Amino acid sequence: MKTRHVLLLVFLMMIFAACSNDTEQADNEVDKSSLIPALSEYSDEEIEDIDRGQELVTHTNDMLPENVGNNLSCASCHAGAGRGDSLNLIGVTEKFPQYSEREGKDVTLEDRINGCFLRSMDGKEIDPEGETMEAFISYFEYLSKNIESGDQYDFMTVDERADNIPAPNVEQGANEFSRYNCMSCHGRAGTESAYTGPDLWGPGSFNDGAGMARFSNMQYFIKHYMPKGQEGTLSEQEASNIAAYILMQDRPEFEGVNRFPNGNKPDDYLNEETKEALRNNYLDWTDFERVQDE
């Protein structure tokens, strides 16, 4: 090949590389599984820890009955053990330590995981220095290996709630819940069942101090990730109605206090107090900051 041709070829390759880079940066449409490293890069001992971490995320209630008070696993919300679409955990180790409004101070990833044990799992903290915690962290480090602090991808969990949620109608929500066959997977909540979806309320579900007990989080989750297999088919209004219907049901009470010592406490936790107020009409759904007036 003549030098001229080689130069032209190099030039074209540079343009091509620049363009493909641009589109990637523009919409960040990466295949998230391609960011997860090959296990062959790890030693047998490391692989054992990573596998145990993944098992723990997937079968939390079976493996840690002392620490889990309900029927959930981390994967009940963090789909695909943190590799899926909902509440993805790839890159999570790069986000901690992080300031937490709820605690009023910087928290470590270990603190954050234990926050989920107390609320989402309605259970007890695990030893922050024990082997179980080590396995969780090894797994999350493995998922995050190719992510650098500050990287932003669309699949990352940032602020999984909407502003301007249309005010819900709980009775409509009850109808839509059966119309969209949520029960075909979620079974009858609170009863023992062989269905594939986790308990949405009752003693087997998360407690009212959990992130998911916030109306805005629940609405967003349903709008974007349910019904599984037909995600995105519900309207904002339908997701709002169904979220309200689910969160108005009984669930375990969080025994600690969601302190928010420096203020900024979200107003949309549906705990006993707010549910009572809503039932008796001295609180209106539109009183919540993220819910829109007609």
Distinct helix (H) and strand (E) counts, the chain:
10, 4
Would you say 210 and 70 are in contact if contact means Cβ atoms under 8 Å apart?
no
Q: Contact with ligand HEC (CB under 6 A): which of 32, 52, 83, 186?
A: 186
Q: Contact with ligand HEC (CB under 6 A): which of 187, 198, 209, 252?
A: 198
Cα–Cα distance list, 79 to 12, 75, 136, 221 (Å): 41, 5, 16, 11
Stretch touching ligand HEC by CB under 6 A, among 6-14, 26-34, 194-202, 268-276? 194-202
> 208 vs 278, which CB is nearer to ligand HEC?
208
95 binds ligand HEC (CB under 6 A): yes
Render the burial of 226-265: b for 16+ CB within 10 Å, e for the rest: bbeeeeeebeebbbbbbbbbbbbeebbebeeebeeeeeee
Rounded Cα–Cα distance for residues 290 and 238 (Å) = 16
142 binds ligand HEC (CB under 6 A): no
The contact pattern for ligand HEC, residues 161-180, with x = CB under 6 A and - = no contact, is -------------------x
74 binds ligand HEC (CB under 6 A): yes
Rounded Cα–Cα distance for residues 184 and 21 (Å) = 43
Q: Exposed, middle or buried: residue 56 (CB in 10 Å: 0-12, 13-18, 19+)?
A: buried
112 binds ligand HEC (CB under 6 A): yes
The rounded Cα 90 to chain-centroid distance in angstroms is 12
∠ CA 223-232-169, nearest 5°, is 40
290 binds ligand HEC (CB under 6 A): no
Rounded least distance, CB 132 to ligand HEC, Å: 10
110 binds ligand HEC (CB under 6 A): no
Q: Contact with ligand HEC (CB under 6 A): which of 35, 72, 135, 248?
A: 72
Rounded Cα–Cα distance for residues 200 and 190 (Å) = 8
The contact pattern for ligand HEC, residues 75-94, with x = CB under 6 A and - = no contact, is -xxxx----x-xx----x--
| Interaction site with ligand HEC (CB under 6 A) | 60, 72, 74, 76-79, 84, 86-87, 92, 95, 112-113, 116-117, 120-121, 136, 157, 160, 180-182, 184-186, 196-200, 205-206, 210-212, 217, 221-222, 225-229, 242
